[in-house]
A and B are shown apart, each in its own frame.
Chain A
Amino acid sequence: MVADKIERLYWRTVLTITSIFTIAWFIVTYVVHAFAPQLHKIVVNGAPLNWWLIQGSISIGIILAFLYALVMNNYVDKKFYKNRESGR
Chain B
Amino acid sequence: MTELIRSQMANETHSTWSTSATLESLSSATTDATSLTKFLHSAVVMGTVAAVLTPLPALAARQKFGDLDHNIPAPDDAADPSLDLIDEHYVYRSAFDSNSSVFENSGVLFKLQGGKITMRQHRTLKTNHVDSKPAARLKPGLPAFRTRLPVTSASTSGRPLCSVNVKDLTVNVRTPLNSDPLVRALENVHSLSLNKDALTFAGILRDLTWQPEVWADDSEVVFEWIGDGRHAVASIEGDGRIGYTLMIDGQFVSGADADASVTTLPADLKEYLTKTA
Partners in one complex: no
A residues within 8 Å of B by Cβ? none
Interface, chain B (partner A; CB < 8 A): none
